[in-house]
Structure 1
Amino acid sequence: MRYRSVSVFFVLVWLLIGLLAAGQRGYLRSADATCAEASTIAVTVLAGPLNYVGLNPVMKCELPQPSS
């Protein structure tokens, strides 16, 4: 039971650091989020502290276009 609360605490701190990194990079300022921007924000938050040791995750996303 104690290990679960400690691990939840570390996961929350990890994600908070990732959110801080996304904010510092200006990813959270844009109101228009494309697929690529949203996935880059998600990967940056999941990378957490790794952002501060040189990891710069950037995602590309291509959605299918409707036929004309």
Structure 2
Amino acid sequence: MRTGSIGGVVLLIWLLIGAIAAAQRGYFDGSDTNCAEVGTIAVTVVAGPLNYVGVNPKVNCTVPQPSK
């Protein structure tokens, strides 16, 4: 039983550290949001503490344009 709760706490701390890293990089400041920005924020949060050992994840994406 305690293994699950310890794992949950570790996961929560991991994601919190990732969110702090994203905030320090200024990812939450922009008002113009696109899929690349949202993706970069998501992978930065998931990377967690790895952001502080040199991991700098970036996401590039393009949204298909509607046909004419």
Q: TM-score range by the shorter chain?
A: over 0.9
Unaligned residue ranges in structure 2 (runs of 5+): none
1:31 Cα shift? 2.2
Aligned residues: 68
Looking at structure 1, the residues matched to 65 and 26 of structure 2 have their Cα atoms a distance apart, in angstroms, of 28
AA matched with 1:36: A
1:62 Cα shift? 1.0
Partner of 2:30: 30
Q: Identical aligned pairs, as a percentage?
A: 59
* RMSD over equivalenced CA pairs, Å: 0.6
SS at match of 2:64: coil
1:17 Cα shift? 0.1
Unaligned residue ranges in structure 1 (runs of 5+): none
How do 1:36-55 residues align onto structure 2 when only pairs under 5 Å count?
A: 36-55=36-55
Partner of 1:8: 8
SS at match of 1:58: coil
Partner of 2:18: 18
SS at match of 2:56: coil
1:65 Cα shift? 0.5
SS at match of 1:56: coil
